[in-house]
Structure 1
Amino acid sequence: MVVGAGLGGLATAARLAAAGHAVTVLEQAEQVGGKLGRYERDGHVFDTGPSLVTMPQVYRDLFAATGARLEDQVDLVRLDPAVAYRFADGTRVDVPGTPGAVPDALEQALGNGSGAEWTALMARAEAMWRISEQPFLRTPLRGAATLARLARSPADVATIAPWQTLRGIGERQLSDVRLRMLLDRYATYSGSDPRRAPAVLATVPYAEQAFGSWYVRGGLHRLALAVGERATRAGAVLRTASRVRRVLVEGGRAAGVELDGGERLPADVVVSGVDASGLYGDLLPPDRRTRGPRRDLASATPSLSGVVLLLALRGRTPGLAHHTVFFPDDYDAEFDAVFGTGPLRGSPRPVPDPTVYVSAPDDPALRPDEDSESWFVLVNAPRHDPERGVDWDEPGLADRYAADLLAVLARRGLDVRARLRWCEVRTPADLGRATGSVGGSIYGSSSNGARAAFLRPANASPVPGLFLVGGSAHPGGGLPLVTLSAEIVAGLVGPA
C-alpha cells in the first residue's frame, strides 16, 4: 500500500510492482503528481511545481528497473542557458548548459578571477559529492552509524566540513558578492537559509552543472504521468480522490489504512509519501516508538514555502531564457523575512523585495497560440502558520501580494502588467491543502543546522512495516532525491 501519488510514491509503486508486489496507490487529489502538478485554463498550461530536471541518470535507473527506457517515455531537452541571472546592479549572467563553458561565462560577466574561483569551488564540491553520494544519498539513514561511516577518514571530514555553512564556504572561496549570491541560492533547493545550511550543499550546483539541466517537453508533469504509467503497467492500482484518515497499526506493526469514508484497506506494508509531520502527527495512533521522530521533527526548522503566480500573457518576450532569476539588493533581508530571523526574529512575513524566479518555457504545448506565453513565477515565502507567523488565508493578502510582485518584476525590467490576460495565485496555504504538506513547507524540514540531515525522518519508521518516501524523508527534497528515496524504500521492502 502506497499513500500519496507524488513522484516518490509513484516511483516506489513502480519499483515494488515490478518486483512482484501487489500494490495499491491512494491519492487524495483527483490527479497524480503531488507537487509535480499541472494547471490548465484557456489553452494556457503550467507546471505548478518543479520546472527543472537534474541528474537524469536517476530516472534512467528507475525506468530501467521497471522495464523501459527513459528517453522512450519522455522527451528530455537540455537547457542552454541553464539559467539567466539578473542582479540588482544590472549585471547579467547567463550560465551555459555546457559545464565546461560556465567558468568563462562567469569571468566575462563578473571578472576579477570569478571563473577560476568557481572552478576551484566546484572541484571541492565534486570531492564532497564523491564522499557523500553513496553512503548518504543512496543508503538508508541509520543515525549515528551513517555519521560514523562518513567520519572514518579525517581527510573526508575536512572536505565535507560539517561545521561550515554554505554561506561560509562561499565567503572563503568567492570574492565577488554576486557570485556568493548565486551560490547562496542553492540553499533554497532544500528550503533552507544559506547562513545556516551546511557547506555540503555546494554539491547541488556541482550536480546541476555536471549532469545538465533538463526540461521535459510538454511540461514536467509528464514525468509524473510516465512514472505512474510504469507503475500501472507493472500491475499497480492507482486510486485518486482517496484520502487516508489514518494508518492502521495492529499486532505492533502497520496493517493497512483507513480512508475518510471509513473503508479499511489491509496491507502487509504501508509506504507513506505524505509529509512526515502529517504522518507522525495525524495519521498514526499514539505510540512510544514514534517519540523520537516526532521529537526530531519538532526540533528541525520547517522548510520555506513559496508564493506562485501563474501568468497568462499576450505576446512574446524577446530574448527571455527558459529560467530567469532576478536577485534583490539585500538577499539577507529575504531570508530574515522568510524564517523570522535577525531583526525580524520570531516574526516571519511576506518578503517585500524578494528574489523572483521566472520559468517561461518556449513550448507550443503550453500556450494557446504563438502570440502568447505561460509563465510560472515563484518567490520564497514563509509557510502558512496563522498562530505564530503568516496567515496566508487572510482576506485580500494573496491578491495584494501578487500585485506587489508584478510591480517588483516591473522595477527589474520585466513589466508584463499590460499583457496580462489573467493571474492565478497559489499561496503556502493553498499548497498545504493541495498536497498535504504541513503549512505548505515545500521540503518538509529545511537543512538549517549541521544536524539537520540527521533529524530528517528515516525511510524505515520505528513501526515495522511502515516506510517513508518523498521530500520530507531521507535523503531530502527535490526530484532526484525524491526518486532516490523510492529506490531506498524499495530496497528496504525487498522482493515479493
Structure 2
Amino acid sequence: MADVARVAVVGAGPGGLAAAARLAAQGHAVTVLEQSQQVGGKLGLLTVEGHAFDTGPSLVTLPQVYRDLFAATGGPLEESLDLVRLDPAVAYRFADGTRLTFPGSPAAVPAALDAALGAGAGAQWAALMSRAEHMWRISEGPFLRTPLAGAATLARLARRPADVATIAPWTSLRGLGERYLRDPRLRMLLDRYATYSGSDPRKAPGVLATVAHAEQAYGSWYVRGGLHRLALAVAERAAERGAVLRTGCAVRRVVVTGGRGAGVELADGEVVPADVVVSDADAAALYADLLPPDLSAAPRRALGRATPSLSGFVLLLGLRGRTPDLAHHTVLFPADYDAEFDAVFGTGRHRGAPQPVADPTVYVSAPDDPALRPDDDSESWFVLVNAPRHEPGRGVDWDEPGLAERYADSVLQVMADRGLDVRDRVRVRVVRTPADLERDTGSVGGSIYGTSSNGARAAFLRPANASPVPGLFLVGGSAHPGGGLPLVTLSAEIVARLVGPA
C-alpha cells in the first residue's frame, strides 16, 4: 500500500497494540478504539488494598518476538521494560507427593528430572525435546510467521516428506508423549502444554510439543512491576509513533462500503472512517455481531466446526506473611488429569455436560515483586484453574447465584489438600469467572484463546488474518497463528506485513 492509510484498530489488547505500533511506525494514521477504560485486554491489572495483580498472562516466552517488535518501532525493548529470566521456571507437585523444580537453564533439566522422577527420566525428556526442536525449525517460519492460506500452508510444510514425518500431524500431543515418555508424570508435564492453547492433549496435535521446547530453550521471563507493563510499553510506543488511543469507546459494527471495510461505528453512533480496519476483538464476536451476516457466513461456519478453547477460573489472593521456598510459578497436579479435560470440554465421563472440575490442576503465580504487594510481609497471588466456558442453558452458567464463591472455596480446599493451605492468611480475595472474562474482554463464553487446537484440522479452522472482507484484518489470540503473548504479537507482525508501509 503506497499511500498513507487511515487505520482503525478495534481493541487495545496485546495484538491490537502491537499492530497499532507497527502500522504507525510504517507511516499510517492509526486510531485504537478500546471499550474499557484501560489498555491491555486480557493483559490487565487490578489493584485492591495495596495488592496488585496481573489478571492474565503471568510470564513472557519467546522474548525475541518482543525485541523484534520494539526494534521495528523505535528503541530496543530493554529501554522500556525490565525483563527478568526466571530460574527456576516452575515448581511441580504431583498427586503422589513428588516434587520437581524445573530449572531455568536447559542444561540442568535432565539431571533435575532424574533426581525427582528417577534415572532415565532426563534422557526421555531430552529425546522428546530434540524431536520438538526439529518440529520448531520446520514449522516456525512457514506457519507461525506467515498468513494462513489453507492448502498452500500445508504445501509449505510439506516441501520434504521427512518434514511431514517429523511434524506428524496425525499424532496427538498425548500420543507423542506416550511414544517418548515412560513415566506418567513426565507425560503429565507434556500434556500441560496443550492448555497453553486452551486444548485437550488427547486431541491437540503433537506439534504443540514445540511450546515446551520454546519455553525451555528461550526461557520464561517476567516483567518487573507486572506483565501489564508490557501492554503499557507497547501502547506508549504506538503513541510515540503517532497512533491515537481512545478508551471507553465500544465498537458497535464494522462499516462496510462497496464491499470493503471503511471504518467502524461506535456505540454512541460516531463513525470513525478508515481505509483499513484491524480487529483485535474475539473473532467469534466479530463475525457474529460486528459484520453483516452475508459477509461473515463462511468464517462463522468454520468457527462452528471448531471446538472453543477452555476458559479459566481465577482467584486473586492478597496474603498476609510470606511463603518460604516458593517458586514464581507452582503447578499442583491432580491424580486424574483426564477427568479434568472431560469436565472442561464435556467429553468422556462428562459427555455433553461440561462442569467445574472437582479436582483441578491448580496454577499459582506468585511473583516476588515489591511493586505488587503493600509491604514486605505480604504476597499477591494469581491462582488459575482450567474451567469450562460460560454457556448458560447449554453448559455451565457461571453467573448462577453462589456458584463462584462455592467453587472458590473448593479450589482453596484443593490447594490445602496438596500442601499449600493459605486460607488463614487471606486478606484480599477476588473471584473472576469465565463470565467475568467474557464481560471484561468480549471473549465469547470467556474462551481464552478463541478456538482450541483440538483435532488435526483445528489450525486451519482458526480465522485467518486477512478476512473475507477486503480491508478488514484480524489480530489477537482468536486469529492465526493462535493464543499466547508471542503468537498474538506475531499476528500483528503478519497483519502489518499484509497492509504494507505507507
Global fold match (TM > 0.5): yes
Q: Which residue of 2 aligns with 1:180?
A: 187
CA offsets per residue over residues 305-331 of structure 1, 9 Å max, x none?
A: 000000011000001100000000000
For 1:225 and 1:67, how far apart are their aligned partners in 2?
15
What residue in structure 1 maps to residue 330 of structure 2? Answer: 324
Partner residue in 2 for 1:147: 154
Counterpart code for 1:463: V
Q: 2:120 aligns with which of 113, 116, 119?
A: 113
Which among 237, 242, 246 is matched to residue 235 of structure 1?
242
Report the AA paired with residue 126 of structure 1: E
Provide the C-alpha distance between the structure 1 equivalents of 2:473 and 2:301, rounded to a whole number of angstroms: 18
Structure 2 gap ranges (5+): 1-7
Counterparts of 2:174 and 2:276, CA distance in 1? 42
Q: Within the alignment, does 1:250 sit opposite 2:280 as a pair? A: no
Q: Which residue of 1 aligns with 2:350?
A: 344
Aligned residue type for 2:178: E
Aligned equivalent of 1:396: 402
What letter corresponds to residue 371 of structure 1 in structure 2?
D
Question: Paired residues, what number?
Answer: 495
Correspondence 1:271-420 to 2 at 5 A = 271-287=278-294, 289-420=295-426
TM-score by length of 1: 0.99
Q: Which amino acid aligns with 1:369?
A: D
Q: Which residue of 2 aligns with 1:194?
A: 201
TM-score, reference length from structure 2: 0.98
Name the residue aligned to 1:486: 492
Aligned-pair CA distance for 1:69: 0.7
For 1:42-78, what per-residue CA distance to the aligned partner results, in whole angstroms no more than 9, with x for missing partners? 1100000000100000000000001111011000111
1:184-223 → structure 2 map (5 Å cutoff): 184-223=191-230
Letter in structure 1 aligned against 2:26: A
2:277 is aligned to: 270
Q: Deviations over 1:178-210 (max 9, x none)?
A: 000000000000000000000000000100011
Q: CA shift at 1:387, angstroms? A: 1.8
2:67 is the alignment partner of 1:52: no
What is the SS of the residue equivalent to 1:271? strand
CA deviation profile, 1:78-111 (whole Å, cap 9, x unmatched): 1011000000000001010011111111111101
Distance 2:151 2:291 in 1: 25
Please say if residues 45 and 54 of structure 2, whose CA atoms lie closer than 8 Å, have aligned partners that are also in contact.
yes
1:344 partner amino acid: H
CA distance in 1, matches of 2:345, 2:247: 34
Matches within 5 A, 1:65-84: 65-84=72-91
Gaps of 5+ in 1: none
Q: Is the 8 A contact 2:288 2:296 kept in 1?
A: no
Residue 135 (1) aligns with residue 142 (2): yes
Q: Verify: 1:475 aligned to 2:475, yes or no.
A: no
Q: 1:255, 1:7 → 2: CA distance?
A: 23
Paired residue type of 2:173: L
Q: Quote the RMSD (CA, aligned, Å).
A: 0.6
Matched residue, 2:441:
435
Equivalent residue letter for 1:342: G
Amino acid in the other structure paired with 2:70: F
Question: Matched residue of 1:425: which SS?
Answer: strand
- Which residue pairs with 2:467 in the alignment? 461
- Residue 294 of structure 1: CA displacement? 1.0
| C-alpha separation in 1, matches of 2:194 and 2:378 | 33
Question: What's the counterpart of residue 224 of structure 1?
Answer: 231
CA distance in 2, matches of 1:153, 1:342: 37
What is the percentage of aligned positions where both structures have the same residue? 80
Aligned partner of 1:447 in structure 2 is 453
Could you tell me how far apart the structure 1 residues matched to 2:34 and 2:256 are? Answer: 20
Equivalents in 2 of 1:421, 1:290: separation in Å? 48
Alignment deviations for residues 357-397 of structure 1 (CA, whole Å, 9 cap, x no partner): 00000000000000100000000000000021000000000
Take 1:292 and 1:264, find their aligned partners in 2: how far apart are those partners?
A: 26
Cα separation, 2, equivalents of 1:68 and 1:443: 30
CA deviation string 1:286-311 (max 9, x = no partner): 22x53221111000000000000000
Q: Which 4+ stretches in 1 moved above 6 angstroms?
A: none
- CA distance in 2: counterparts of 1:286 and 1:163, whole angstroms: 34
Query: Amino acid of the residue matched to residue 230 of structure 1?
Result: R
> Any idea what SS the aligned residue of 1:316 has?
coil
User: For the residues of structure 2 that align with 1:59 and 1:283, how far apart are their CA atoms?
Assistant: 30
**Where does residue 178 of structure 2 map in the other structure?**
171
| Shift in Å, 1:422 | 2.1
Query: What is the rounded CA distance, in whole Å, between the counterparts of 1:258 and 1:290 in structure 2?
Result: 17
